[in-house]
Amino acid sequence: MLTDIYIENYTVVDRLHLNLDSGFSVLSGETGAGKSIIVDAISLALGARLDTKIIRKQESRCTVTLCFDVSTIPLAREWLEQHGFDDHQECIISRVHQSDHRSKITINGKPCPSTLLRELAPLLLIIHGQHQSQTLLQREQQQTYVDSYGKHHHLLQLLQHNYAEWRKNQTEREHLKFQTEQRDEQLNLLNYQWQELEALNLQPNEWQELHEEHQQLHHAKQLIYNLNQAIDVTIENEKTSTTHLLQYAIDQLQLSHKNNPQLKSIIELLNTAAIHVQEAADELIHYRDALDLSPERLHYIEQRLTQIHDLARKHHVGPEELPDVIQSLQHRIEQLNSSEERMMALEKQSQQLLSFYQHTANKLSQSRRRTATEINKKITHYMQNLGMHGGEFEIKFDPHAELITAYGFEKISFLVKTNPGQPLLPLAKVVSGGELSRISLALQTIISEKENIPTFIFDEVDVGIGGQTAEIVGKLLQSLGKQAQVLCITHLPQVAAQGHHHFKVNKFSTKNSTTTTIEPLTREQRVHEIARMLSGSKITPQTLQHAEALLT
C-alpha cells in the first residue's frame, strides 16, 4: 500500500508530507484549496507527462516521492526483482523535475525510465477520476473489465498465442500460394539463370587470380625489365653481381683465415648469404620463364573477366559473390519444386491450429458469459442503491465466429437503463457524467473482490450526487476500503463521514505567495470540517449536530 507522499515545490505546495494508513482515507477542503494537486503529483511520480509550469514560483526544481509497502503485493515484488529494483519490503519512487526541463526518476535509488515505470504503476495503485470514467465508454475497455473480473489472463494469453501461430501459418500459406501461381514462370527464369551461371564454370578465387594476372600482363614489359635487372644484379654480371662480389669477399678472407680463426664465423655468414642470393636468383629466373606474356593469353583473360563481370552486374552483386548467387538459385529452385508438399503440410497444420484456437476461444466465451451474468446482477444491484432506481445493467455479446481475432469470438458492450420503462442502450448514449462515475465505481468495487489491487485513488468520483445516494457511495467506498487502501477526494459530507481517516487540504495566501498544506483531523476537527461541508462557512449548533450524526 501507499504509506507516504512527499511533495516539494510543486505548484502551490512548498513542502508537504502525507502519511497514510490502510482503509478508507478522505481528503476534503474548500474549493480551490488544491485537493486535486495531490492526485496530480502522484500521477507525475508514476510517470505521467510533465507540465512545464509545475515548479513552484522562484524555485529551480520540484520533487515528488511515493513510498509503498510491497510486502503483500507479490506481483510488484516480482517486477521489482526482475528489473533490479528489489528492496524486499519497500518501493520508493521519486521524480525530480528541474526548471531546465530535465527530469529524473528513481526506484529505490536507482534510475528508471518513465516507460518502465508505467509498467509498475498499475501493480501499485489505480487512479480513478473523470477521465478514467470516460474510458469505460470504450468497448475495448469494457471487454478488459469483464476479463479482469473473470480472471481470464491465462486463457487470453493462450488464445493470443494460438492466434499468432495461426496467423503465421496463414501468412506463409498466402506467400506460398502466390509463389505457386507464378511457379512455372519463376522456375523457367531461375533454371535459365542457374544454367547460365553453371555454364560459366566459375572456379574458387578465379576472379581474384585472373584480375591479378591481368594486371601483371598489362604491365608485362616493365615487369620483364625489372626481373632481368634483378637477375643481372644477383648472379649474371660477372664483375658486379652480388654473388661475384660475395665470393670475392669470401676468397679474400680465406687468405687470412689461418692466422685469424675469429674470421671463421664471418666467412660462414657470407657463405650463407651467397647461398640465399643464389636461391633468390633461381626463383626469379623460374618466375620469369614461367610467365605467359602472349597477347593471346591477355585476350583470353580480358574476355573471361568481362563474362564474369557481366553476369555479376546482371545479378546486382560483386563478381566475388557469384558463387553465393548460384547456391541461392539452387535453394529457391528446390523450394519451388517442393512447394506442393509444403502447401499440404501447411494446410494440415492450419486445421490443427484452428482447432486449438476454437477450443480456447470457446472456453473463453463460456467463461465470459458466466462472468457477465454475475457482473450484471451485481452492477444492477449497485445501480439500484446508487440513486438509479429501476436501473439495469447488461453485458451484450456480439458474436463474430466467422472472424478469428486475438480476443475471441465476440465483441462485448455494456448496456444500461437508468430509469424504469427505458430500453437498454449502450452506456455512452444513456448515462450522465455522475451516473458514469457511479457505475465505474461499482465496477472497480466488484473487480477488487477478484484482483489484488492494493490502492485505489478516487478524484471527485461523487460528482453529481447528494443526499442518500452520496451516503451509499460513501459506504461503498468504506466497504472497498476493507479490501484495499482507498484515498478519495470529496466535497460531500456524506462521503467524508464514512472515511476511516480524514485529511483536510488548506490554502494560505499572502501578498506574494500561496501555499497548500494538508493535515490529519482529529474526531473533533472532523465534526467541524463535515459541518463546514454541510453548510459552508456559517457553522451552527444544528450543523454540528448533523455532522456528529453522520459520523456516528
Q: 511: pLDDT confidence band, cut at 50, 70 and 90?
A: confident
Residue 226 corresponds to which amino acid? N
CA distance 410 to 432: 27
Does residue 204 sit in the same domain as residue 315? yes
Q: Which residues pair with 456 in a beta bridge?
A: 126, 486
| Cell output for 191 | 533454371
Does residue 333 sit in the same domain as residue 231? yes
* Structural domain contains residue 436: no
Number of domains in the chain: 3
Helix axes 322-337, 339-385, angle to 10 degrees: 70
* Structural domain contains residue 278: yes
Does residue 121 sit in the same domain as residue 252? no
pLDDT greater than 80 at residue 295: no
Q: Are 499 and 473 in contact (CB under 8 A)?
A: no
Does residue 218 sit in the same domain as residue 117? no
* Structural domain contains residue 356: no
CA distance 137 to 538: 41
Q: For 550, left (φ over 0), alpha (ψ -120 to 50), or beta?
A: alpha
User: Rounded to two decimals, what is the model's pTM?
Assistant: 0.64
Please tell me whether residue 393 adopts helix, strand or coil conformation. strand
* Structural domain contains residue 543: yes
Please tell me whether residue 106 adopts helix, strand or coil conformation. strand
Q: By C-alpha distance, which of 416, 410, 441 is closest to 428?
A: 416
Q: By C-alpha distance, which of 532, 524, 535, 539 is closest to 505?
A: 532
Does residue 52 sit in the same domain as residue 100? yes
pLDDT digits (tens, 9 = 90+) for 219-268: 776 777 888 889 888 888 777 888 888 888 988 888 887 788 888 889 89
Does residue 54 sit in the same domain as residue 106? yes
- Domain span at residue 463 reads 1-125+453-521
Q: What is the CATH number of the domain that holds 115?
A: 3.40.50.300
* Structural domain contains residue 152: no
Does residue 480 sit in the same domain as residue 532? no
* Structural domain contains residue 191: yes
Terminal Cα distance for the chain, rounded: 27
| Cell output for 254 | 680465406
Q: 131: pLDDT confidence band, cut at 50, 70 and 90?
A: low
Domain edge (last residue) among 295, 318, 337: 337
Does residue 188 sit in the same domain as residue 115? no
Does residue 474 sit in the same domain as residue 330? no
pLDDT of 101:
80
Residue 70 corresponds to which amino acid? V
Does residue 475 sit in the same domain as residue 549? no
Q: What is the mean pLDDT of residues 497-517?
A: 87
Does residue 87 sit in the same domain as residue 198? no
* Structural domain contains residue 165: no
Q: Are 152 and 360 in contact (CB under 8 A)?
A: no
pLDDT digits (tens, 9 = 90+) for 161-217: 999 999 999 999 888 887 776 667 777 888 888 888 888 888 888 888 888 888 877
Does residue 91 sit in the same domain as residue 217? no
How many residues does the structure list for the chain? 552
Domain edge (last residue) among 337, 366, 386: 337
